[in-house]
A = this chain, B = another copy of it.
């Protein structure tokens, strides 16, 4: 059950597909999926497994409307407390404003299993399209997306194979370019502080790209440290203190997001450490609210609002390219050197 986007026409799966795949009659399949009538546990199991493998999702909009779509766009993101996603949502919201489409949202807490469950529920509403963060899904979630018969747009990240359309940036390239920029400025003893892997695939890819960029100059990462949960600003302070205690000669720290970077910056300034002379710092995301810090942290704009806008335009059929389905939009994050990378 593969799909290469543009080439293969897709249709919504029916009871018959589940019947054929499981070797169980359509009527029995229907009974199992509606949870009604007497069906043996073995048959039930067979039907549910086939449905899951196919990516079949029962339609919650009953009978008369079975073939209709509703004017809702399913939006699935990892978290609302992360500063990144409200910006994406506001891009989606702005773009859908005049279309009559409304976003419905689900949150996965960075769990692939939760994503699968949320997706199942939302697809049962027969939305007009799906916007989902990231390219990594469970097999069952990917099967559902491949067979939903509607525009699917994976967002944030372009490093991987999309189900249908994709709008995002290359996080590998973002990491790579940051590495090249700081190597060029003469930094050599370099640490990485970030969110805990493997929850955050995009942070992992930035680190991979960053290490590849250092490797071009024959440099290996001196040290790294990861965290999960808690106040990012505070964690940034604590991790910076810890990594500098272990490696007093570090001359650069790359942070997986701006908030921990800002915490690190505040820590260094309080300790009287010369930034960027003694140590350079950079974050990621281009978070607006950090304008107004004592010094401007180097960062890369992650194009969040624009990602939301372009993804919503594809679902709404107003894509700038005129394509529908199988579209690839790679945006380019721009390095903003701020005041925390010195210039030779």
Which residues from chain A sit less than 8 Å from chain B, CB to CB? 60-65, 68, 70-72, 79-81, 83, 85-87, 89-90, 93, 100, 102-107, 121-122, 125, 231-237, 259, 262-263, 266, 270, 288-294
Contacts and interface: CB of A to CB of B under 8 A. Distances in A.
13 contacts: A61-B70, A72-B104, A80-B86, A89-B105, A93-B107, A103-B104, A103-B105, A104-B104, A104-B105, A234-B291, A237-B292, A259-B289, A266-B292
B65 A288 contact: no
Contacts of A107: 90, 93
A58 to B, nearest CB: 13
B106 A102 contact: yes
A268 B100 CA distance: 48
Nearest to A75: B105
B234 A263 contact: no
A191 to B, nearest CB: 19
Contact of A64 (B63, B122, B291): B63
Contact of A81 (B79, B90, B100, B121): B90
Contacts of A237: 292
A39 B233 CA distance: 62
A102 B294 CA distance: 42
Contacts of A293: 233, 266
Contacts of A80: 86-87, 89-90, 93
A144 to B, nearest CB: 16
Contacts of A262: 292
A262 B71 CA distance: 41
9 shortest interchain CB distances as A-B pairs: A233-B292, A64-B64, A234-B292, A231-B291, A80-B86, A80-B90, A104-B104, A234-B291, A263-B292
Given A125-B70, A233-B289, A237-B292, A86 B90 contact: no
Nearest to A62: B65
A195 to B, nearest CB: 15
A102 B81 contact: no
Contacts of A232: 289, 292
A120 B125 CA distance: 20
Contacts of A79: 90
B60 A71 contact: yes
B121 A102 contact: yes
Nearest to A94: B107
A292 B236 contact: yes
Given A102-B106, A233-B293, A234-B292, 8 more contacts: A63-B64, A80-B93, A93-B105, A93-B107, A105-B105, A231-B292, A266-B292, A266-B294
A70 B102 CA distance: 14
